[in-house]
Structure 1
């Protein structure tokens, strides 16, 4: 069995009320997929930057999951010439 590695990078842009996350997944062949997620702090909530980061990162990773599933479905359809039905 051959080992294959993918690299995931998560970066954040923050201000007191908003956190944006960018997740970049680099596949073994050098292909990169990029996803974004956002979180907003309710003005009544205390400032907890890590919570905003967690929410924004989770939303970005969810977007990445959907991109990977769509990519896999497209690759399957290219070979089978049939619709691929993949679930998350």
Structure 2
């Protein structure tokens, strides 16, 4: 049996710093095969003295959003196990 979960990454303008290429925000949404969703967020900001390389901002914001999503998924899993086991559960990454 195979299960497919999808992750969508969206990048968006948060303020004037984005238009100047200095700030990038990312929103990651995980959708399970059953339709449940979980979200993560990440941001990156370029130092004004650094060269403008938009791909780096996208990569950093995406990685932070995915890390946030992973942390939230781990916490949700801990809560699910705790509900079954009837005691607190702490999972480590």
TM-score (structure 1 length as normaliser): 0.94
Q: Could you tell me which residue of structure 2 aligns to residue 23 of structure 1?
A: 28
Deviation at 1:47, TM superposition (A): 0.3
Q: Could you tell me which residue of structure 2 aligns to residue 44 of structure 1?
A: 49
Q: Gaps (5+ residues) in structure 1?
A: none
Size of the aligned set, in residue pairs, is 87
Q: Could you tell me which residue of structure 1 aligns to residue 83 of structure 2?
A: 78
Poorly superposed stretches of 4+, deviation over 4 Å:
none
Residues 2-21 of structure 1 mapped to structure 2, 5 A cutoff: 2-14=1-13, 15=18, 16-21=21-26
Distance 1:30 1:85 in 2: 25
Distance 1:25 1:49 in 2: 24
